[in-house]
Amino acid sequence: MKLPSIAVGFFLASHQASGFSTNLLSSSSTKQSTSSLNVFSVSGSAGTGEGWIDPSAPVNSAASLKKTLDEALKGSTFKKRISILGSTGSIGTQTLDIVDACPDNFVVDALSAGNNAKLMADQVMKYSPKVASLSTPEAAAELRTLLKERGCTDMPEIVHGAEGIVEAATVGSADTVVTGIVGAAGLLPTIEAIKLGKDIALANKETLISGGPVINPLVEKHGINMLPADSEHSAIFQCLQGVPPGGLRRVILTASGGAFRDFSKDELFEMCENDPRAVQKKATTHPNWDMGAKITLDSATMMNKGLEVIEAHYLFGASYDDIDIVIHPQSIVHSMVETQDTSCIAQLGWADMRLPIVYSVSWPHRLKMPYKPLNLAEIGSLTFKAPDTEKYPCISLAYEAGKKGGTMTAVLNAANEAANEMFREDVGLGFLDIPKLIEGAMEAHKEDFKVDDVTLDDILSCDAWAREYVAENTKNVVKAPILFT
């Protein structure tokens, strides 16, 4: 089932109107960063070739649109106040690298993290946030002690727990919240930030995968911008800016292939059977990207790409039949869109997460960054191949959950998070057991599956149930070298 998404379009400098269903930019947004953009509603989905401009929307000449946009971008001078959820993790530290590179453009108002009080203390001393949140009371107490020992003269409000994350996400002065927190834990703070009209730089895909049926209407209601901070969806967003209404045919997500991309299915299954320790070590090391532990393992199982298919559906409104995956080992082409005339538009760049992050927090501006420019002659060649869904069953599970919609994606996500964590904690769960547990949870959920009028309580209940299912059934998983044959 294709759930409805928010249909909006927008003009960007020297580009035609983009026509695609999306909840990226709300038609009711009045943010300073977009106040000079003339936003109008459009309808139409990928693959149909159909699209129309809402006749009730204001009519603006191309000249006036370009003039207002030129004024918005003049000099690329702006200042945003940001809150960073997950500040000590991979996304958070790279976001702070961007703040360091562009100190005139960003002010850090709030930071939240896990239990790394020492790194949080370093960040507080450097960026002077108003709020600092850690996971536990003990970590918060340690942070308070460290800051006093260092003579902190601008002590933030120190909070902890789930309530602390929400407080960091909703601090009154922030314009944009960077959701770098891992997993479904990002859902509630994101919802509360949206309710207060804050823009979202979305690095936490699980928020949309679990909560898409709730998040999309909130984005529309509160008039905020939700901009992707991951490489693939940022690439799609950038590519779509050159696609006219009704022009989108297909979205193509690129994937590195993860840790086992050079293994055949038989080689991978044999390794899982004969040397599970080697599999565990390799599965938690990414060949291209510097990422956190959870997403690195998701890349090895290819569940990360499956989750991104669902995220693309919610962000851009494309049907699942119009979203494809291609393995691209070099991770230079970050994703593509195919238009109705079969042309492909791609976004290229180094495998550097700072690039999509900086665009998500600076859009519609293009900041000059001190990074190495892309050199295609240096790269030499780019290769692509289709994924093997027998080798990577998580891909098929994600498509199945996405097409069912409703609460099934929340179950998929929670079961994956639980199995992923158990594998990394070395409780005896095998690599091939991860998709088996996810499939089992999805099958068991079919009796209680809900697709219409899904509420936040429904999502949270399904999330908790799926985690419990995985915990209870881990011991019952039958180890086998061959899966889904």
Mean pLDDT of 3-15: 29
CATH 3.40.50.720 fits 76-233, yes or no: yes
Least confidently predicted of 59-63, 230-234, 471-475 = 59-63
List pLDDT tens digits, range 354-400.
Answer: 999 999 999 999 999 999 999 999 999 999 999 999 999 999 999 99
pLDDT at 8: 30
Q: Is 414 exposed, middle or buried (0-12, 13-18, 19+ CB in 10 A)?
A: buried
pLDDT value for 286: 75
pLDDT for 426 equals 77
* Whether pLDDT at 435 is above 60: yes
Q: Which CATH architecture has domain 248-350+370-476?
A: Orthogonal Bundle (1.10)
Per-residue pLDDT of 81-99, as tens digits, reads 999 999 999 999 999 999 9
Q: What average pLDDT does the segment 109-113 reach?
A: 98
Average pLDDT of the chain, as a whole number = 85
In the chain, what are the domain boundaries?
A: 7-74, 76-233, 248-350+370-476
Distance between CA 224 and CA 193 in Å, rounded?
10
How much is the average pLDDT of 217-224? 95
**Residues above pLDDT 70, as percent of the chain:** 82
What is the per-residue pLDDT for 67? 56
Q: For position 305, what pLDDT does the model report?
A: 96
Pair of tokens at residue 44: 């139409």
Q: What is the pLDDT of residue 30?
A: 38
Average pLDDT over residues 180-191: 90
Q: Where does the pLDDT of residue 34 fall: very low under 50, low under 70, confident under 90, or very high at 90 and above?
A: very low
- pTM score: 0.83
